[in-house]
Amino acid sequence: MKLKLNWIAGAALAAMLLGGCAGQEDASDGGTEDAPDRQDEQTQEQADSGGANEEAPEESAGENGEGGKNEQVPATAEPEEPLYELNEATWSFRPIGDADPKAALLTIDDAPDKHALEMAKTLKELDAPAIFFVNGHFIDTDEEKAVLKRIHEMGFPIGNHTMTHADLKQISEEAQREEILGVNEIVEQVTGEKPRFFRAPFGQNTDFSRQLAADEGMLLMNWTYGYDWEPQYQNEDALADIMINTEYLNNGANLLMHDREWTAAALPKIVQGLRDKGFKLIDPATIKVPEAAQ
């Protein structure tokens, strides 16, 4: 029994670090287990990069208190001089020049479903920037498009998370093209701006999707950690606690969250917890993205 529990704990840990949307969808949709080969592949992929995680230097921890008061400065979507670049080996961010290394990025995937608008309002009140990664199946009605537009107008960049949340490794190149370009088309039509960030469902990319994202001028990213699809973290307090006390909260962390009830509830505590630990929140407008191909 003990062995089995240990195995389950190990598997759960692997899933929470690596499974991303795969895991959470199982949990919230009541679906079946994710295909084991997927998890294994991804475990391998990310295990390779996991060792490269940099230790967070213990510096500039005395900056908490900053950002505590909301001065109604909206999260901005204006392009600025890049301050952070993605480390593709770890999916974390490193500072450019003298930008503060002690910073973390918030991302909300599988949006805008039932909670994204509320989450955007919460984040805006907290003056906390974030990327909302959207799926085409959540933005195909006028009502949903209106929600997308409002989130964008609040200053949050909209990232591409594919039309149907398909596993890109399982479909043809033509289908991958439709999955990716379809979202860019709708987002541009609704917001007037094309997505500058791409995150594949389940973190599963192909050479084709990597190239297409680059051609479209999108920065492709996975994440460094997330927990909100694990059953034990599907409540406000447990989720807020693990998101700010996990050992994976290091400089440049790329936090994966989802459009979920408990995540929406936990957001204020997560933002405050990160700030109390001295982390700045990375403004996506300051992230270096590739130039679109001509």
SS3 content of the chain, % helix, strand, coil (to 5): 45, 15, 40
Scanning 89-97, 186-194, 196-204, 273-281 for contacts with Zn ion by CB under 5 A, the matching segment is 196-204
CA-to-CA distance for 215 and 112, rounded, in angstroms? 25
Note whether 228 binds Zn ion by CB under 5 A: no
Scanning 32-40, 166-174, 199-207, 268-276 for contacts with Zn ion by CB under 5 A, the matching segment is 199-207
CA-to-CA distance for 61 and 45, rounded, in angstroms? 32
Smallest distance from Zn ion to CB 21, Å: 3
CA-to-CA distance for 225 and 274, rounded, in angstroms? 14
Scanning 47-55, 201-209, 267-275, 282-290 for contacts with Zn ion by CB under 5 A, the matching segment is 201-209
Q: Are 87 and 93 in contact (CB under 8 A)?
A: yes
Figure out which of the listed residues 38, 46, 110, 151 binds Zn ion, where binding follows CB under 5 A: 110
Smallest distance from Zn ion to CB 199, Å: 7
Q: Are 34 and 26 in contact (CB under 8 A)?
A: yes
Which tokens is 32 given? 């079946």
Choice between 110 and 283, CB closer to Zn ion: 110
Partners of 225 in beta bridges: 255
Scanning 101-109, 114-122, 181-189, 221-229 for contacts with Zn ion by CB under 5 A, the matching segment is 101-109
CA-to-CA distance for 192 and 44, rounded, in angstroms? 39
CA-to-CA distance for 140 and 136, rounded, in angstroms? 6
Site size for Zn ion (CB under 5 A): 4
Smallest distance from Zn ion to CB 95, Å: 28
Figure out which of the listed residues 109, 144, 230, 236 binds Zn ion, where binding follows CB under 5 A: 109
Scanning 2-10, 95-103, 109-117, 171-179 for contacts with Zn ion by CB under 5 A, the matching segment is 109-117
Choice between 109 and 127, CB closer to Zn ion: 109
Choice between 132 and 279, CB closer to Zn ion: 132
Choice between 103 and 139, CB closer to Zn ion: 139
Q: Are 147 and 3 in contact (CB under 8 A)?
A: no
| Tally of CA atoms within 13 A in the half-sphere of 85 that contains its CB | 8
Choice between 25 and 236, CB closer to Zn ion: 25
CA distances in angstroms from 32 to 22, 27, 138, 196, 216, listed in the order given: 10, 9, 22, 32, 34
Choice between 147 and 166, CB closer to Zn ion: 166
Smallest distance from Zn ion to CB 226, Å: 10
Residue 129's contacts (CB-CB under 8 Å, 6 or more residues apart) are 75, 76, 106, 123, 155, 156, 281, 282, 283, 284, 285
Choice between 147 and 168, CB closer to Zn ion: 168
Note whether 21 binds Zn ion by CB under 5 A: yes
Choice between 95 and 112, CB closer to Zn ion: 112
Smallest distance from Zn ion to CB 84, Å: 23
Interface residues with Zn ion (CB under 5 A) are 21, 109-110, 201
